[in-house]
Chain A
Amino acid sequence: MSAASFLRALLEARLAPTGRAWLDAAVGELAAGVAPVRGSALFSQASRHARRVPLAPTAQQCAEAGRILEGWNPERWNVLEAMRVTLLLARRDLAADSGVQALTELFRYADEGELCALLRSLALLPAPERFVWRAGEGCRSNMRSVFEAAALDTPYPARHFDDLAWRQCAIKCLFVGAPLWRLWALDTRLSDELARMALDLAEERRSAGRPVPPELWLCLGTYGGARGLAALERELASANPNALGRRAAVLALARAAQRERFAALECANEPALRDVLSRVRAGETSAPTFRHLEPA
């Protein structure tokens, strides 16, 4: 199944009959080819026919999206975004210069909702590497919605960002409080430099008397070294035994393959850490495991 037909099927149950009729007519028009200004008008006009309400795909539907494009997860898309991406994908010239020009126009005049839809679409386009600067601009945005559309639940950063943009993307998640575990394939692009940046940030926060974001520890992997281990021990010694940071530190110790330390924690068998210990024992150590450490 193509991404376009997958999204169209999802929208079937989520649009009013008039909305479906408008979408199908617009898709036909775009497929036949339209002037850029008409393409922009249709893209904006979608807001008259779909609302910014959660798309709320089922777990099976999310899995299906992941089969269409590895790393794509529409779990947090809204209905209007799905409609707009359907419109984009209807164009037949996406691989050609005219398609790039059309997208450039859309980006140029985009409002916040349109920008999010455009950024979410990038990984689904042919030759997505053509839009790496646009994705980077999305990550530079101060609007969290725009940043997350560019960075999270998409394979785009992991597949196309250079090392510098990738690290900035990961660290920015920690800065803006975006869920880093949703940065697809984080674990495949961990590095000494990312670990160093994360540890610098942890020190900066501690010097300032501010909390360290628990997900920061996901950035260490096996690259934290002695400095990383010391920082994790400090986190474990936190005054609040139930702190999420402590559970994240346990996960990070497992990810750093600190078997002896982990065994010692198992012996101690602290109630607050039981859940994370059992997950690690079951082999759950990837970054998305963090999702389950969050408070219920």
Chain B
Amino acid sequence: MRFFDPHIHVTSRTTDDLERMAAAGVRAIIEPAFWVGQPRTTAGAFVDYFASLLGWERFRSAQFGIAHYCAIGLNSKEANNEPLAREVLELLPHFVLKEGVVAVGEIGFDEITAAEERAYVAQVELARDNDMVVMVHSPHRDKKRGIARSLDIARELGLPMAKLVIDHNNEETVKGTLDAGAWAAFTIYPHTKMGSERMVEIVKQFGPERVIVDSSADWGVSDPLAVPRTAKLMLERGLSAAVVASVTWQNALDAYGQSGQIDVEGLLAKPTIDQRQLFADNSVLRGQDPRVEAPVPN
């Protein structure tokens, strides 16, 4: 099977992870801009970060046969540093329309503050005016209310619900998200957000329509193979191959493909890799022989 992990922060992952992901069938990924574990202090740090998502990280993934797309946005936590947030919001138009940017994201709420709301509104407007998809991070604390607020604001601002992906749903929020008409994404974390077993039950209960599975693997304890692992469990638990393909491949493609930035035919073709390629004179290799034309096992 082939998989699309539409939420993973590969900038924090090693080449071992990329190799394992490709071997497990992960063919395409989306890396949304988020915070880096601690607050940045200058707008320049954001410029370099966004540029790395569009540049080095895309190249690095390609070296392992994985198509890398990204979402650009100001995350909710750092929206609370308002002077810095204003600067970052001003420079977003330089990045969100670049090739391969499939959404504005991940944006939304953390503490559900007024500053977070201002940043969210500005970015939903930016997405709406440019006909873009929005990837929403839902908060850890007070999740249900955070999601309701994210949905309400997007609706009030006139963003079509088909362009809205609400991420990190759980049993308590899935119904509200789906009833609103948005896409409901689920992050499979080993211990907290959602486990594979729970995900199986949710798909059994709510069906595959507009449901998306992702890993959100980052710098914390997380699993870059969460999507293929969950797919395997779903099949073992009797969900059909068609249902599993919907939630681990096609739905993400349909949601983010609205950006027009995803080369669907390219993804369907058999991927090959050429590690002789360089990026700004850099290689991901450290003395190994480059793998050339090596088929990726998916």
Residues of A within 8 A of B77 (CB): 140
Given contacts A137-B81, A140-B77, A208-B171, contact A164 B141 (CB under 8 A): no
Closest A residue to B77 using CB positions: A140
Closest A residue to B78 using CB positions: A140
A233 CA to B113 CA, complexed, in Å: 33
Kindly count the residue-residue contacts between A and B in the assembled complex, taking CB atoms under 8 Å apart: 53
Interface assignment of B149: CB less than 8 Å from any CB of chain A: no
Given contacts A171-B141, A200-B144, A209-B198, contact A141 B38 (CB under 8 A): yes
A207 CA to B198 CA, complexed, in Å: 9
B204–chain A nearest beta-carbon distance, Å: 15
- Residues from 109 to 123 in B contacting A, C-beta threshold 8 Å: 110-113
Binding site of A, secondary structure by majority: helix, strand, loop or mixed?
helix
Residues of A within 8 A of B111 (CB): 140, 164-165, 168
B142→A197 contact, CB < 8 A: yes
Residues of B within 8 A of A204 (CB): 143-144, 170-172
By the criterion of a CB under 8 Å from any partner CB, how many residues of chain A are at the interface?
Answer: 22
A207 CA to B170 CA, complexed, in Å: 9
A198-210 interface bits toward B, Cβ cutoff 8 Å, 1 = contact, 0 = none: 0011011001111
- Residues from 60 to 80 in B contacting A, C-beta threshold 8 Å: 77, 80
Given contacts A137-B39, A140-B80, A164-B111, contact A207 B171 (CB under 8 A): yes
Residues of A within 8 A of B38 (CB): 141-143
**Can you give 15 contacting A-B residue pairs, CB < 8 Å?**
A140-B39, A140-B80, A140-B110, A142-B37, A164-B111, A164-B112, A165-B111, A175-B140, A175-B141, A200-B142, A200-B144, A200-B172, A204-B171, A208-B194, A208-B198
Given contacts A137-B81, A140-B39, A143-B38, 20 further A-B contacts (CB under 8 A): A137-B39, A137-B80, A140-B77, A140-B80, A142-B38, A165-B111, A168-B111, A168-B141, A168-B142, A171-B141, A172-B141, A175-B140, A203-B172, A204-B144, A204-B170, A204-B171, A207-B170, A208-B194, A209-B198, A210-B192
